[in-house]
Amino acid sequence: MAMLQAVTTLSPEAGAILLSTLVAGCLACGLVTVVIYRLFLHPLAKYPGPFFAKLTNFYDFVVGYQEHRAQHFSYLHKKYGPVVRFGPNDLSFCTPQAFVDIYGWKANVRKHDGMAATQSDPETTSTFSELHRVPALKKRKILAQGFSESALGHAEGKDGPAAFFRGRPDSLTGASEFIVDQIRIFCRCLVDPSTEPVKDMSLWLNYLAYDVMGEVVFGNGFNMMTDDKERYILPLIDNMVFSMLLGGIIPWLFKWGVIDFMFPSIYSGRVRFISEAEKKITHRLSRGHESKGDRKDFFHFLLSHRDPETGAPLSRKTLLTEGVLLVTAGSLAGTLFYLLKYPHCMKRLRQELDSVFSDVDEISTGPKLSTCVYLRACVEEGLRMAPPGPGMATRTIMEGGTEIDGEYFDEGINVGCSNWTYAYNPIYFPDPEIFRPERYVVEGSTTEDDVMRAKNSYWPFQTGVRKCPGMKLAYQELYLTIGRLVYLFDITPEKPEELEGNFEVLDHFNVKKKGPFASFKLREGRSVA
């Protein structure tokens, strides 16, 4: 009673101090409770991983901001084994079976909440940001129409470019035609005296990739290769995807605008990119169903879609959201870097191309290109060593739990696999730091089983429900561009010191690259049309 009386007679100042002490004590007790739970009582407590990663997702966030998150996953697996706890409720895996169990068609998972938090319009989900399988499949079917054989090869014969990916092509029409048109422009720019003689090939190959994507999505290229006024959008795209990476790790930081406050330059770049993308989309929508020539672009199919139940067209918000997603592209720079670093690979590839083709215009989808085994091998090895998406696509286990690599996990746990970890795993790829296209060629001591094992241990374009719908287009662009560059030009690395290490890949959700820096000279007897 005396103590209670003493408390009630405290001065206001003393009462405030006591209240602050009690609040601080409660917070400290709560913090200690959380720490003890996450370290010792959490369902994932038995899995190894960095100490601070077990306590907070800010560990992963800091790693992500340092731009080498994908490589860090590889380091963690080397240190801790095939299963690593990289967050309080997050596990990373690195076996082929785990990849199939997490990303395959039958996987009982959905996308992580971070994907919804980072969408450009909080009220409208896109194919990319849709969390659940069924609505994602519906959206994907719409999107896939733009990448279908009839779309990319519209008005082509039965043996056009789509057949190339079935292994029995005969002619160049449709999709290949507009890709080759852009590659011709690209090759002319490489030796155009009005352009800089030494070129950052990451930039120039991005110009090419986005001009191709402009043709696919809008029916018109962005003209980045020929007009430097359009190139401003590249760093904006990088800001956009980097903000998606950071926001995907801790969704509430993105949702509440904390990331925008912490990184104003990233925020301003993301906002400007969305604004510029919406301008281009609005301009395309003003043309309605009109397409360029016989080939139908993406928006032709998006505008033509009708809901099977209501008959309603896609809303303007949905069209804008999907359009922002589509303005992305990959890069071919990694493959070129390693061909320059390993001259014997460049020499063998050139010999193959010279023996198959008598003119550059023959390098198109057709029976001759399908015989270029070493070209395909170089592309596969380039995708392995410089993945277009090096990081992790996190998934959340749904109700009922799931089995991953023979072990059961409850719902609510976040799981994933880093592409970089697979690509540089010595178990599946001996000497993973070495560019060795022969991994994909049946010859000498390399058997067909060895080649299949390599292909089944790494998936540069994902697999299952979320498999990249533009994979065939990407491969076509890779084959035709690398094939024509090596056939046409003597390529000289202008910064030999950059070839001493491996190609630097920064994990910005997709990938940020720089270099190689090179100059180009037409080989004797070669010309660009």
For the chain, the average pLDDT equals: 82
- pLDDT category at 376 given cuts 50, 70, 90 is very high
- pLDDT category at 162 given cuts 50, 70, 90 is very low
Cis-peptide, bond into residue 387, ω within 30° of zero: no
What are 250-285's pLDDT values in tens digits?
888 887 888 888 888 888 887 888 788 788 878 887
What pLDDT was estimated at residue 330?
52
Residue 162 identity (one-letter amino acid):
A
CA pair distance 207, 223, nearest whole angstrom: 8
What are 459-496's pLDDT values in tens digits?
887 776 667 777 777 888 899 999 999 999 999 999 99
What pLDDT was estimated at residue 245?
85
Residue 483: left (phi > 0), alpha (psi -120 to 50), or beta?
alpha
CA pair distance 201, 225, nearest whole angstrom: 12
Lowest mean pLDDT among 5-9, 103-107, 371-375, 508-512: 5-9
Residue 236 identity (one-letter amino acid):
L
List beta partners, residue 244. none
Q: Is 70 exceeded by the pLDDT of residue 365?
A: yes
Q: Is 70 exceeded by the pLDDT of residue 423?
A: yes
Q: Is 80 exceeded by the pLDDT of residue 125?
A: no
Q: What CATH number has the domain spanning 133-158+171-385+434-522?
A: 1.10.630.10
Region 143-168: what's the mean pLDDT?
44
Q: Which residues does the annotation place in the binding site for heme?
A: 468
Q: Is 348 helix (H, G, I), strand (E, B) or coil?
A: helix
CA pair distance 86, 60, nearest whole angstrom: 7
> Could you say which DSSP state residue 76 is in?
H
What are 62-89's pLDDT values in tens digits?
999 999 999 999 999 999 999 999 999 9
Percent with pLDDT over 90 in the chain = 44
Q: Which residues does the annotation place in the binding site?
A: 468
Q: Is 60 exceeded by the pLDDT of residue 173?
A: no
Higher-confidence residue of 234 and 55: namely: 55
What pLDDT was estimated at residue 332?
84
What pLDDT was estimated at residue 40?
94
Asked if 398 and 110 touch (Cβ cutoff 8 Å), the reply is: yes
Tokens of 241: 């995807």
Higher-confidence residue of 208 and 260: namely: 208
What pLDDT was estimated at residue 174?
42
CA pair distance 366, 162, nearest whole angstrom: 10
What pLDDT was estimated at residue 497?
93
What pLDDT was estimated at residue 331?
59
Percent with pLDDT over 70 in the chain = 77
Distances (CA, A) of 479 to 142, 339, 390, 453, 475: 27, 14, 21, 22, 6
What pLDDT was estimated at residue 297?
75
CA pair distance 400, 394, nearest whole angstrom: 18
The domains of the chain are located at 133-158+171-385+434-522
Lowest mean pLDDT among 29-43, 106-120, 134-148, 326-340: 134-148
Region 502-519: what's the mean pLDDT?
85
What pLDDT was estimated at residue 167?
35
